[in-house]
Amino acid sequence: MPDDQPLPLLDRLSALLGPRGILTDPADLEPHLADWRLLYRGRTPCVLRPANTAELAEAVKLCAAAGVPLVPQGGNTSMVGGGVPDEGGRQVVVSLARLNRVRDIDPLDMTMTAEAGVVLKAAQDVAAEAGCLFPLSLGAEGTATIGGVLSTNAGGNTTVRYGNARELMLGLEVVLPDGQIWNGLRRLRKDNTGYALRHLFVGAEGTLGFITAAVLRLYARPKESEVALCAMRDEETALALFRRFRDRDETAVRAFEYMSGTGVGFYARLIEGGSVPLSTPAEHYVLVDLASTRPDAGLRPLLEAVLEEALEAGEVLDAAIGESEAQRAAIWRIREEHPEAQKREGASVKNDVSVPVSRTPELIRRASEACRRLIPGVRPVPFGHMGDGNIHMNLQQPEGMDPAAFLARSHDIMETVNEIVRDLGGSFSAEHGIGRLKTDMMEGWRGGPELAVMQRIKRAIDPQGLMNPGKVLP
């Protein structure tokens, strides 16, 4: 807060938002200051918690007039430090948590209008109650919010079938950096009216304004589903299995996730009740999830036929099929708990990268070898969304190494992985975003006209540079 007017602005914000709408007690600020990975810890004079869009707009106007920078925050599950303030103590955190209403759901239009602070799991539940599906699904869905998943253009487990958050958004309501409200909550499948402004705010990570509500696209609920965990011979056969399923029925695959033996081992050892329904440990696993909206889709015969073929070819070494809802959930848990298990095992460096789907085996193999050469004893833990080309090429510290010494090598590790990603025609940021962690990579990967246009867009929409400074753009 600028020194010349701390009290007047705080007083005005307090009067506007009321006692529930502004936090200043250090204990209340605490959960808003550090990111999930504990990479960053910032300071803020207060956390604003507006109750609705109009209140947020008025608060933004007051802060804009005082030149105060703002940091939007949803569930604070960012993997790249996107939702926390810097160490300077001037940036004000704005939590969208109280904008948590589902305003409307329409099973004929197949749309839901949800406010930014609605938790992703709650949005899925509301859709289910109306007999529909909101298909976005990720490990942090019990905490991540609609505003957050749109602002990062989150992907998750079902991108292979339903696309990223962007593909699930039809319209937006936004509070712009000057406090104006833009109501673009149109629920249209076709709307060619000039530049598609709504898409600018998706993936902008809060640098262009606040998403306050969104029209989300719903789908029919599957009537049948199957989940299997397969131990695979190697990375290539993991991808070959994906192809076998796709060749049989392109519409059947809802998720296709790769896991390494190291990651599955962490899960079994470090997560409560973490059991793996296969008797012999393997170096490579995939989780395949099939789903169909047709009642007679025959997913079980399809699953069994493909697995049998791949077993005979020596590609699948062993497989377990979930026989009940509980068993299917238990298989999914092995995958979903990977980030938590890695956190418990000590320091890790994450590389959220993507390559063309066909190159995922090469990425996993080459990046693992290169990192082992770089840091002897390092433990590669590649896992993730093989079906859409997004591998979390994560590295765990060597056993017994000082975590700080390992993290000091983060830059070298990321460079090593990224060199291979570049060679394979991939991207250094697939679904987590740039946040604060990767701003220094933007010039090297997106420099030239692409970055210059982004900077011009930023200046046009946020001329004072008050929205989430220090994030995304270098």
| Binder among 74, 81, 206, 339 for ligand MLT (CB under 6 A) | 339
User: 124 burial class (0-12, 13-18, 19+ CB within 10 angstroms)?
Assistant: middle
Span interacting with ligand FAD, options 139-147, 226-234, 254-262, 449-457, rule CB under 6 A: 139-147
426 binds, among ligand FAD, ligand MLT, Zn ion, none (CB under 5 to 8 A by kind): none
Number of residues that bind ligand FAD (CB under 6 A): 37
CA-atom Rg of the chain in angstroms: 23
Q: At what angle do helices 235-248 and 299-312 cross, to 10 degrees?
A: 140
Identify the residue whose tokens are 């930023």. Answer: 458
Burial environment of residue 231 by CB neighbours within 10 A (0 to 12, 13 to 18, 19 or more): buried
Binds 338, which of ligand MLT, Zn ion, ligand FAD, none (CB < 5 to 8 A, cut-off by type)? ligand MLT
In the bound complex, which residue of the shown chain has the CB atom lying closest to Zn ion?
384
In terms of DSSP bridges, do strands 47-48 and 70-73 run parallel, antiparallel, or are they unpaired?
unpaired
Out of 62, 211, 229, 230, the only residue in the binding site for ligand FAD (CB under 6 A) is 211
Which residues between 368 and 427 bind ligand MLT (CB under 6 A)? 384, 392, 394
The answer to whether 322 contacts ligand FAD (rule: CB under 6 A) is: no
Q: Which range of residues in 44-52, 55-63, 70-78, 278-286 is near ligand FAD by CB under 6 A?
A: 70-78
Site for ligand FAD in 98-127 (CB under 6 A): 116
* CA–CA separation, 379 and 374 (whole Å): 11
Per rule CB under 6 A, is residue 382 in the interface with ligand FAD?
Answer: no
- Which sign, positive or negative, has the C-alpha torsion 222, 164, 94, 54? negative
- Please tell me the distance from the alpha carbon of residue 119 to that of residue 142, in angstroms, as a whole number: 7
Q: Decide: is 350 part of the binding site for ligand MLT (CB under 6 A).
A: yes
Spatial strand order of the sheet with 92-95 comes to: 22-23, 47-48, 92-95, 70-73
By the 8 A CB rule, do 284 and 258 touch?
yes
Of residues 46 and 330, the one with the C-beta less far from ligand MLT:
330
User: Between β-strands 169-175 and 132-133, what pairing exists: parallel, antiparallel or unpaired?
Assistant: unpaired
The site for ligand MLT (CB under 6 A) is made up of 139, 338-339, 350, 352, 384, 392, 394
**Interface residues with Zn ion (CB under 5 A)?**
384
* Interface with ligand FAD (CB under 6 A): 36, 71-79, 82-83, 96, 116, 138-140, 144-145, 147-149, 151-152, 154-156, 205-206, 210-211, 339, 431-432, 435, 468, 471
